[in-house]
Structure formats: C-alpha cells, structure tokens
C-alpha cells in the first residue's frame, strides 16, 4: 500500500455519475438481479503477505425506474469489506470510505483503479491469480446480489477512459 494514502471516513452520496453504458463486449460476465446488472468484477492478485486487496467492477447499471442504493458488501475472503473512493488532491491520493452509494434510474457506476473500489480488509488468504471468489453486493430493499470476482495478474488493468490518470493504489 502506498505510504501517501491517507484514510478518511466520509459519507458521500454519488447520485448522478451519468455514464451511458455500452455493453458490447463479447464474453463479458454479467450478473443480473431484479433491475440491476453488474458486469465483469475483477481483482488483482496479491502477494502472500498482503492484508488488503481491491475489487473493481466494470459497470453496475440500474435499468429500473427508481434509484437503487448499495448499502454495503461482504465476502468470506476478508474480515471487512468497504466501499472506497480514491480522490487525488495536490498529487496525493486519499481513500475515502463511502457509507452508501445511490444509482439513479437508468444510471451506471464504474469501479476502477484510481476511483471507486471495493476494499477487502483483513484478507484471510491471498488473492490467487486465475481463481475467483464470491462477493455480495447489498442493496437496500432489493436484497443481495452475489457476484464472482475474477482474480487477474498483478499488472492487470481494464480498458480505461481516455482521460484516465494513473494513480498508485
């Protein structure tokens, strides 16, 4: 973990991260539950001694007419699972803990390196390349969506938007 990462607790409601999702990838993994679709969850492999890891999800789309609210996550592989956002201020990356995340009707959110991510804290075993583990996304009212997180090699990154800036995490 980067020494420059500071940890702050914040309640941040991201209501309108407007992003038109184009699900055109062949072979994309989609997990659909009621009005919600989550695609391509992944994590980077960790070293044997690592106690933390991060999960990214290419896209979570709310195709319903009402907003949905993510109230938390859980995974057996870690003692604690938190929603984090990475904010860069004066070239210093800070991780913020986000209590909940609202996705408006017909809106999507992305979880990327350098942005929103799901933090696995107190890993019970290292994340091993080419394996996978279940993660539960908890939605208020809707219930739980279980997804399978694919573990990629340490240097893996997904396609990034053109304005992406590299942030060490």
- Would you tell me which residues interact with Cu ion (CB under 5 A)? 84, 95, 119
Residue 97, C-beta contacts closer than 8 angstroms, at least 6 positions apart: 7, 8, 9, 10, 82, 83, 84
**Residue 85 in tokens:** 């956002």
Least distance in Å: CB of 160 to Cu ion? Answer: 18
Least distance in Å: CB of 19 to Cu ion? Answer: 21
Smaller CB distance to Cu ion: residue 104 or 126?
Answer: 126
Smaller CB distance to Cu ion: residue 61 or 84?
Answer: 84
Smaller CB distance to Cu ion: residue 37 or 42?
Answer: 42
CA dist 19 and 6 (Å) reads: 28
Smaller CB distance to Cu ion: residue 17 or 93?
Answer: 93
Least distance in Å: CB of 30 to Cu ion? Answer: 25
Least distance in Å: CB of 20 to Cu ion? Answer: 27
Question: CB nearest Cu ion: which residue?
Answer: 84
Least distance in Å: CB of 88 to Cu ion? Answer: 13
Smaller CB distance to Cu ion: residue 66 or 124?
Answer: 124
């Amino acid at each position: 973990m980067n020494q420059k990462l500071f940890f702050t607790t914040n309640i941040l409601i991201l209501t309108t991260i407007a992003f038109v999702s184009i699900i055109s990838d062949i072979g994309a993994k989609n997990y659909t539950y009621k009005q919600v679709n989550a695609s391509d969850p992944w994590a980077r492999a960790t070293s044997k001694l690592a106690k933390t890891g991060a999960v990214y999800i290419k896209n979570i789309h709310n195709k319903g007419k009402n907003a949905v609210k993510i109230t938390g996550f859980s995974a057996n592989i870690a003692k604690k699972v938190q929603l984090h956002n990475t904010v860069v201020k004066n070239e210093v990356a800070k991780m913020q803990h986000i209590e909940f995340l609202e996705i408006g009707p017909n809106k999507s959110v992305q979880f990327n390196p350098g942005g929103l991510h799901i933090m696995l804290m107190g890993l019970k075993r290292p994340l091993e390349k080419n394996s996978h583990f279940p993660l539960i996304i908890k939605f208020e009212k809707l219930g739980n969506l279980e997804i399978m997180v694919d573990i990629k090699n340490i240097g893996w990154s997904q396609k990034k938007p053109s304005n992406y800036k590299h942030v060490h995490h």
